[in-house]
A and B are shown apart, each in its own frame.
Chain A
């Protein structure tokens, strides 16, 4: 859809001003994280000071974050949990997506519907009984409590996305291989799966950000400080009753956002494909 240029004034009013406002609003809270994390406490808690910049930047809040909390442990937990649960979900989603897109069997349409429905179930609906299930398996307060429950929303997403992806790969490519003597399984693993790599990457990036950011299950299933993920740790250990340690809080918020933003920025196009593919199906 081509949009042509009008007069400079008109373009400023209808385009540049709204664009700058939009980008400014979008990014301002991140600027606020950064500036808060480097302003000394004497400035943070003084309403006389201009809060938008500082002449005495400090790394004290970062030092406090590392010395007074288990932030590095949380970062490791978050990474471990995100990588393993994404791996499990990609494995399951790849196989299931392939089966639903390519194989002919009686239950294919209804199973596709079931997986689509589970995709829409919000964690809020299930967290209370799921807490009992996690306890019954003896994995409460261990990384496995979330590694095994995150796939409940990651697998349906990966399956749905990869199913759509497999449907775009022509069946004929596999048929050629079959004619040349490849078995059903070999055609799948050696022909179709390699062609689906961009789709797998998209699903993987998206799943990774989802599990990095998850809050409710981690809050309910992980309780000891050394088991927490970054979102839970920052939220629970740096707020004591009514006291908020804003400097270290914002330092933690910043450091907890950077890895996922970095992964995202490396794979923006794949992420966007996943985002739009997820709703298009």
Chain B
């Protein structure tokens, strides 16, 4: 899809390149009499690069690098809201590892991430294969598919919460009226069910991202390869496993890693749907850190919980960088 939008420009600049470029150059020459010490400096590539990168580096230093260092300091301090903190070493981490809610959150984070990612990959691949057919209204269907991904997660999650309502759940209404159940199901009533619902909503929201990016991958697969495999006697299943999959493996891997990081650091979906409940059974790192830091005002303790995201994140990033280098 990237190629689609780029090709016309290249074609245009190739066809009408000369006039398009000539016009600015006239301006350039006309302006060249101004005093231009700064201009001279900016002719040097490394100085120009410094100037161009400065705004980005200032913002990233102030709002990512500095908070990161500050976060490490908070994690080893006993800071609470409204009072300066003292250094307490690894006490916060020790407290975390003896906190049953934290340990549950730890487990939940991994369960949530892995199950949701596997389901999103499987269903997203299925959706991509469907969308790779030719059919009427294909463009509209593809655009509509992405809606769960586009709209604010908080707002769509509220709709799900209403659908899971203890009394007025639409799923219960249907199941009771069809006669499958006689008692209402409490969808968010216990930890396991609630975790299942969280994963369901996460899959609903994230699957389109897989579908659309994998579809872009599928569209790069040369149809001749499929024809050749078919002539050699491969059935549809074999063609998928032996031809398509190896070819789109790189993009698949990147999509999975991106999604894993986002799911691992998720906050809003869980906070809106269950707020970590019932009885703190569905917390993940993100929501529990929020609970401790913002609700209980223990900033140091909360920061130490957030930091547990870091080792996993680091592993994924290192793997991804290694993979990019290797494929370059």
Contacts and interface: CB of A to CB of B under 8 A. Distances in A.
A129 B3 CA distance: 41
B53 A96 contact: yes
B64 A181 contact: no
A261 B152 contact: no
Contacts of B213: 275-276, 279
Chain B at the A interface: SS class: helix
A92 B62 CA distance: 14
A227 interface: no
Nearest to A212: B152
B11 to A, nearest CB: 12
Interface stretch (B98-106, B187-195, B250-258): B250-258
B245 interface: no
A151 to B, nearest CB: 5
A71 interface: no
A231 B255 contact: no
A120 B319 CA distance: 13
Interface string B186-228: 0000000000000000001000110011001011011100100
B63 interface: yes
Contact of B267 (A22, A124, A176, A269): A124
Contacts of A104: 45-46
B303 interface: yes
Nearest to A170: B10
B313 A120 contact: yes
Interface in B17-70: 17, 21-22, 24-25, 27-29, 32, 39, 42-43, 45-46, 48-50, 52-53, 55-56, 59-60, 62-64, 66-68, 70
A51 B168 contact: yes
B59 A27 contact: no
B150 A209 contact: yes
Interface in A122-179: 122-130, 132-133, 148-149, 151-152, 155-156, 159, 164-165, 168-170, 173, 176-177
A55 interface: no
B180 interface: no
B155 interface: yes
Given A93-B56, A190-B28, A15 B265 contact: no
A130 B159 contact: no
A242 B200 CA distance: 23
Contacts of A164: 2
Q: Which of B22, B142, B152, B161 has the most CB of A within 10 A?
A: B152
Contacts of B296: none
A117 interface: yes
A159 B150 contact: no
Contacts of A68: none
B143 interface: yes
Contacts of A129: 67-68, 70-71, 74, 303
Interface string A106-122: 10100101111110111
A235 B271 CA distance: 11
Contacts of A132: 67, 70, 74, 299
Interface string B230-274: 000000000000001000000100110010011011111000100
B158 A215 contact: no
Interface residues of A, number: 118
B55 to A, nearest CB: 5
B311 to A, nearest CB: 11
B326 interface: no
Contacts of A170: 10
Contacts of A182: 24-25, 28
Nearest to B225: A1
Nearest to B247: A1
A273 B2 contact: yes
B178 interface: no
B167 to A, nearest CB: 7
Interface of B: 1-2, 4-6, 9-10, 13, 17, 21-22, 24-25, 27-29, 32, 39, 42-43, 45-46, 48-50, 52-53, 55-56, 59-60, 62-64, 66-68, 70-71, 74, 126-127, 130, 132-135, 139, 141-148, 150-156, 158-163, 165, 167-168, 170, 173, 204, 208-209, 212-213, 216, 218-219, 221-223, 226, 244, 251, 254-255, 258, 261-262, 264-268, 272, 285-286, 289-290, 293-294, 299, 302-303, 306-307, 309-310, 313, 316-317, 320-321, 324
28 contacts: A19-B141, A23-B144, A29-B148, A51-B173, A99-B52, A108-B49, A120-B316, A124-B289, A124-B306, A125-B307, A129-B74, A132-B67, A156-B60, A168-B2, A181-B32, A185-B39, A186-B27, A186-B28, A198-B9, A209-B150, A213-B151, A215-B268, A235-B272, A265-B143, A269-B1, A272-B212, A276-B2, A276-B216
